[in-house]
Amino acid sequence: MKRAPSVLASVPIVLDELPLRIDRDLVLRYQGYKTSLDVPTADVLALFEEALALGERLMAPQVVYRAVGVTDRGADRIEAGGERLHIPQIGRLWGPIEAIGAGICTVGDAIEARVRELFDAREFPLAVMLDSVGSAAAESLAEYANDLLCQAAIPERLKVTNRISPGYAGWDVAEQERLFRLCPGAPIGVGLNSACFMSPGKSISWLVGIGPEARVDHYFTQCRRCWMRDCAYRRVPAASTVRAG
């Protein structure tokens, strides 16, 4: 990455050259394996390693991010940048926030293109595994962006919440359009169709809350796999990381 993001960046900033590592456990979960219950066979693991190597070569992680001051908020509502977002229980989940950070991340379209080629060639097991690798890469990237924002907020004495996305936890996917108006995907080549599906498909849009009293970790302990080893604000030991190197 060329520079650290500013958590209160008011114009969209693009982050690239991100040292991302794909979360292996997540790939296997997408394949239906439950950690500590299911043990993949040697054949599955060989396929997994092949798909992982392919995915790491093909992915091109990019993030676009912009922060907007909150003008009003309620139990289930945030208003910012002329947009009204209806998010169930967000007042309780995030507590007092002063700004929101809207972000879009993608690992590009090369993985999907290769998956299509593999399906056309009837190489179904590798195609399906590579598709899971692409999904896990996008998820790892979103988590990494969340970590970067938390890190960037510390010198500004601000806190950053866990991310949420349209279409999850009761937030209507139709509000994807509002999120894109707050932070356009165009700078990283991510578009939105009329059904609110993003293209490339291996992309994730998300929102975080920002403020000195923001409530962090509302569904996940962010520090658990954050790479920032010497962070004086770490709340729990790191279990793993999605940062390479």
Note the residues at the interface with ligand SF4 (CB under 6 A): 147, 150-151, 222-223, 226, 228, 231, 233-235
* Least distance from ligand SF4 to the Cβ atom of residue 232, Å: 8
* Least distance from ligand SF4 to the Cβ atom of residue 235, Å: 6
Strand 191-192 to 198-199 pairing? antiparallel
Q: Which is nearer to ligand SF4, 98 or 217 (CB)?
A: 217
Cα–Cα dist 148/88, whole Å: 26
Q: Which is nearer to ligand SF4, 146 or 205 (CB)?
A: 146
The amino acid present at 25, given as its one-letter code, is D
Q: Which segments of 70-205 does DSSP mark as H helices, in order?
A: 90-94, 110-120, 124-153, 176-182
∠ Cα 115 39 55 (to 5°): 25
* Least distance from ligand SF4 to the Cβ atom of residue 56, Å: 23
Cα–Cα dist 19/41, whole Å: 30
Q: Which is nearer to ligand SF4, 113 or 239 (CB)?
A: 239
* Least distance from ligand SF4 to the Cβ atom of residue 18, Å: 16
Q: Which is nearer to ligand SF4, 135 or 161 (CB)?
A: 161
Report phi then psi at 164, rounded to 5.
-130, 160
Q: Which is nearer to ligand SF4, 186 or 236 (CB)?
A: 236
Cα–Cα dist 147/91, whole Å: 22
* 8 Å CB contact between 64 and 188: yes
Q: Which is nearer to ligand SF4, 131 or 147 (CB)?
A: 147
Query: What number of residues does the chain have?
Result: 245
* Least distance from ligand SF4 to the Cβ atom of residue 194, Å: 36
* Least distance from ligand SF4 to the Cβ atom of residue 137, Å: 20
Cα–Cα dist 146/238, whole Å: 15
